[in-house]
Amino acid sequence: MSAMSLESVRYGRGSLRVLNQLLLPQRSEYEPVTAVQEGARAIRDMKVRGAPAIAIVGCLSLAVELANNPPCETPALMTFVRESLDLLIGARPTAVNMKKAADELNTFLAREAEKPGCTVQELTESIIKWAEALREKDIDDNRKIGEFGAQRILENAGSTEAVCVLTHCNTGSLATAGYGTALGVVRSLHTLGRLSHVFCTETRPYNQGSRLTAYELVYEKIPATLITDSMAAVTMRERRVSAVVVGADRVVANGDTANKVGTYQLAILAKHHGIPFYVAAPSTSCDFSLPTGASIVIEERPSNELTDINGTRVAAPGIGVWNPAFDVTPHELITGIITEQGVFKPDELKDGLTRF
Ligand code: MRU
C-alpha cells in the first residue's frame, strides 16, 4: 500500500485512532479509542464496520488499554481480558471475526500463562503483540485474496480483454486493516490493467456503497459507477458484467455465506444472467462450527437507519420497519470463495483450508 492509502485505523503502541466512517464522505476525522469500552461503542455505532476491521479495532482497543493501564497481577489480567472479549463479541453478532479472534487469543493466553515463571508483564506484552500481529496478517491476507481473485476472474472470463465487475457494500481499506477483500480483488484487477469498470451498489439502507466504496474508488482513481441496488439486474443485462464479487461476514461449513443485506438477491440475479458470483473472505471470516446458514444470527439494526437519511425522516410516519443488516446467500449460488489460501468451491472450502 502506498503511504497515501486510506486507513480505517491508525495505530502505534499505546495509541489507537479510528476513522469515523459515519462522517464520510463529507469529513475525514480520526477519533481516539483509549479503552475497550470505547472500542465496543465505536463498533456498535458503526464508526468502524466491516468484519475484519471490527476484530482489529476490538483487539487493538484491548491492546491500548493494556499498554496504558497494565494490570499488576495475572488473575486480574485474565479476568480483564475475558470480560473485554465478551463485551467486544457482543457489540455486533453476525460477523464472526471478533469471536474467532477472541477464541484464539484466549487459547494463546492460556498457553502463555502456563509457561513456568511467566510474569504479568510478559503476558501483557504477549497480548499486545498478538493484537498487533492480527492487523499485519489481515493486510497480508487481503493482498493474497486480491491476487487469487483477480487471477480466477480473468481465467474465467477467458479473454485477454479487461473485465467489468460489480460489487456490493464496502469491503475495502475501510472495512479491513488495508487493501480490502472483494474491493482488494477489484484493486488487483485495476493494478494489472485488466479492469474495464466496476459498478458499486448504493447498499441501502446504510449506504456503505455510495458513502464508502464510492469514496475509496474515487480516491484510488479506479473507473467506477454507482448504481442503486434496484439497478443491479439491468446493469448485469446491459453492461457486460464479467463477475460479481462481494465480501462475507461469516462463511459456514457448507459454504452458505452471510453478507450485507442485498447480497442474496445479487447472487440470484447473477445466476439468472450466467455471471460468476464470488465471495472474497479471509479464513478469519469462516465459521465451520455452524453447519448451514440457517444457524447464523442476523443482526437487526434500528429502524431509523432505514427511515431517515442524515437525520431527516424520509419514510411515512407510522409505517412498520424490518431492518436486517445481513442476509444469507445459499452455497449453490456461489461460484467460488476467494481466500488467502486460494479459491474454493463452497462445498470444498471446509476441507480445503489448511490453516483455519
Ligand atoms: O454492516 P457492515 O458495514 O459492517 O457490513 C459489512 C459487510 O457486510 C462486508 O461485506 C463484510 O463485513 C466484509 S468486509 C471486508
| C-beta of residue 128 within 8 angstroms of C-beta of residue 12 | no
Residues 47 and 161 placed together within one structural domain of the fold? no
Please say if the pLDDT value at position 355 is more than 80: no
| C-beta of residue 194 within 8 angstroms of C-beta of residue 147 | no
Residues 131 and 173 placed together within one structural domain of the fold? no
Cell 480505517 appears where?
Answer: 8
289: CB partners within 8 A, 6+ apart:
253
How far is the C-alpha of 36 from the C-alpha of 59, rounded, in Å?
Answer: 8
Q: Is 249 annotated as catalytic? A: yes
Percent of the chain at pLDDT above 90?
A: 95
How far is the C-alpha of 227 from the C-alpha of 328, rounded, in Å?
Answer: 22
Residues 267 and 281 placed together within one structural domain of the fold? yes
Q: Specify the number of domains making up the chain.
A: 2
Q: Is the CB of 176 under 6 A from ligand 1?
A: yes
Residues 202 and 77 placed together within one structural domain of the fold? no
Please say if the pLDDT value at position 45 is more than 90: yes
Q: Is the CB of 53 under 6 A from ligand 1?
A: no
Q: Is the CB of 51 under 6 A from ligand 1?
A: yes
Q: How far is the CA of 308 from the centre of ligand 1 (A)?
A: 21
pLDDT tens digits for 145-197? 999 999 999 999 887 899 999 999 999 999 999 999 999 999 999 999 999 99
* Residue 4 pLDDT level (bands cut at 50, 70, 90): low
pTM of this prediction exceeds 0.90: yes
Percent of the chain at pLDDT above 70?
A: 98
Q: Is the CB of 95 under 6 A from ligand 1?
A: yes
User: What separation, in Å, do the N-terminal and C-terminal C-alpha atoms of the chain show?
Assistant: 26
Instruction: At 213, list the grid cell.
Output: 466504496
Annotated catalytic residue within 249, 256, 287, 327: 249
Q: What is the CA radius of gyration of the chain?
A: 20
9: CB partners within 8 A, 6+ apart:
16, 17, 18, 19, 48, 53, 56, 57, 60, 135, 177
Q: Is the CB of 49 under 6 A from ligand 1?
A: yes
Q: Is the CB of 207 under 6 A from ligand 1?
A: no
Task: For residues 74-84, give the mean pLDDT.
Answer: 96
Q: Give the domain range for residue 75.
A: 3-138
Residues 164 and 242 placed together within one structural domain of the fold? yes
Closest-CA residue to 143 (of 107, 179, 101, 95): 179
Q: How far is the CA of 161 from the centre of ligand 1 (A)?
A: 30
What's the CATH code of the domain at 278? 3.40.50.10470
Which is the closest atom of ligand 1 to the Cα of 246?
10
Phi then psi for 169, rounded to 5 degrees? 60, -160
Pairing of the two strands 15-19 and 163-167: unpaired
Q: How far is the CA of 113 from the centre of ligand 1 (A)?
A: 34
Q: Is the CB of 153 under 6 A from ligand 1?
A: no
pLDDT tens digits for 284-338? 999 999 999 999 999 999 999 999 988 899 999 999 999 999 999 999 999 999 9
What does the pLDDT read at residue 2? 47
Q: Any bridge partners for residue 312, and if so which?
A: 309
List b or e across 14-46, with b for residues whose CB sees 16 or more CB atoms inside 10 angstroms: eebbbbbbeebeeeeeeeebbbbebbbebbeeb
Q: Which of 138, 158, 177 is the last residue of a domain?
A: 138
How far are the Cα atoms of 157, 253, 265, 321 from residue 294, in angstroms, in the given order?
32, 11, 17, 22
Residues 92 and 154 placed together within one structural domain of the fold? no
Please say if the pLDDT value at position 5 is more than 80: no
How far is the C-alpha of 280 from the C-alpha of 352, rounded, in Å?
Answer: 15
Q: Is the CB of 175 under 6 A from ligand 1?
A: yes
Q: Is the CB of 47 under 6 A from ligand 1?
A: no
Q: How far is the CA of 47 from the centre of ligand 1 (A)?
A: 13
How far is the C-alpha of 264 from the C-alpha of 223, rounded, in Å?
Answer: 25
Q: How far is the CA of 3 from the centre of ligand 1 (A)?
A: 24
Using most ligand atoms within 8 A of CB, pick from 20, 54, 249, 339 the residue to mutate for ligand 1.
249
Q: How far is the CA of 76 from the centre of ligand 1 (A)?
A: 34
Q: How far is the CA of 51 from the centre of ligand 1 (A)?
A: 5
Pairing of the two strands 163-167 and 30-32: unpaired
Which is the closest atom of ligand 1 to the Cα of 172?
15
Length of the chain: 356
What's the CATH code of the domain at 101? 1.20.120.420
Q: Which pairs from 137-140 meet CB under 8 Å and 24+ separation? A: 138/52, 138/56, 138/176, 138/177, 138/178, 138/282, 138/284, 139/1, 139/176, 139/177, 139/178, 139/179, 140/340
What does the pLDDT read at residue 354? 82
What does the pLDDT read at residue 159? 76
In the chain, the amino acid numbered 114 is: E
* Residue 3 pLDDT level (bands cut at 50, 70, 90): very low
Residues 95 and 171 placed together within one structural domain of the fold? no
Q: Which of 79, 104, 138 is the last residue of a domain?
A: 138
Q: Which of 138, 168, 188 is the last residue of a domain?
A: 138
